[in-house]
Structure 1
Amino acid sequence: MIRNVQISDAQQILDIYNYYVVNTVITFDIEAVSLKSFTEKIKIISLDYPFIVYEEHNEILGYAYGSRFRPKPAYNHTVESTIYIKQGQHGKQIGTELYKELLQLLKQDNFHMVLGVLTLPNEASVKLHEKFGFKQVAYLKEAGFKFENWQDVGFYQLTF
């Protein structure tokens, strides 16, 4: 079931996220995030943007949200999308279902453009974005440094 995030979900969502922080280059956070700061992040984001979770048998298996792209007012109709699936739950269409719902909510909220910002290579995420019509519009070589290596970033754009 897909539903809106609740503050009580914070620990489960954080566990999903911190796996990626500690074990992958998918996010550019370097150290595990604290529950306090992540809870605050959920509160702030969900005030203005959709933040949804995929729950099955009281366990959160993934989450997705929109967030501010840049702080200048001309960007108010552009949103950055984020999606994470719990390790071991890939290949079950959870990401597809979450993204379908998130994009529908963003469109209803009159956002004009959605940007997916992906560490590359990341075949699964690229396929997910392209499945929904996102097109790669930028490639930033060596944009981030994590695990003693430079990481590339791709910007994928969907316009409603």
Structure 2
Amino acid sequence: MLIRSVSTKDVPSLTDIYNNYIENTIITFEEDSITSNEMAVRIDKVSHAHLPWLVLEEDGDVLGYAYAGNWHGRSAYRFTAEPTIYLAQEAKGKGQGKILYSSLIEELRKKGMKQLIGLIALPNAASVGLHESLGFKKAGEFKDVGFKFDQWISVGYWQLTL
């Protein structure tokens, strides 16, 4: 298992992983699949914000990725980030996500972040478990704020002080 910074060669694999979540889960509120070009734009945005985007690779295959975005655009939020993680189906439940997310958190710590705020579409026991195993605490919940696959979805906020 290798955790490394994202590269342009990863874009097709990352797009496939993310599109699976769009098409089959409530994990993301996006409803339309994205193109590789859109994924490349998103990677570039994170890069220009000087935030990490990490890739989990095993035997040459991309099995997941984790990155952080700015919590909000105003400068007073510059020490708060929103981390995100997505794993390929075959990587779930093996502990690799925790290793990847821990690596992201460490990179954010090195960059001087003070707060991390994870957003979780609910219900999602696996993501809640991951966040809480790494020290995140539930900070709040908005009920029925998203609508996807003909159902209302709540969003929970988990916060970690670094």
The residue type paired with residue 112 of structure 1 is K
Using structure 1 for the length normalisation, give the TM-score.
0.98
Letter in 1 for 2:154: D
1:53 to 48, 52, 55: 55
Match of 2:34 in 1: 33
Q: Among residues 141, 144, 150, which one is paired with 1:142 in the alignment?
A: 144
Aligned length: 160
1:70 aligns with 2:64: no
Over aligned residue pairs, what C-alpha RMSD do you find? 0.7
Residue 27 of structure 1 aligns to a residue whose secondary structure is: coil
Instruction: Indicate conservation of the 8 Å contact 1:7/1:43, yes or no.
Output: no
TM-score under structure 2 length normalisation: 0.97
Alignment partner, residue 100 of structure 1 = 102
For structure 2, the residue ranges without an aligned partner over 5 or more in a row are none
Helix, strand or coil at the partner of 2:91: coil
Shift of residue 21, structure 1, vs aligned partner? 0.2
Give 1:8 shift.
1.2
Deviation string 1:80-130 (CA, Å, 9 cap, x unpaired) is 000001012211111111011000000000000001100011000000000
Corresponding residue of 1:21: 22
1:75 positional shift: 0.6
Distance between the aligned counterparts of 2:34 and 2:128, measured in 1? 25
Structure 2 SS opposite 1:63: strand
Counterpart for residue 159 of structure 1:
161
Identity of aligned residues (%): 40
Residue aligned with 1:88, SS = helix
1:12-59 deviation digits (Å, cap 9, x = unpaired): 011000000000000000010111111111111123101000101110
User: Unaligned 5+ residue runs, structure 1?
Assistant: none
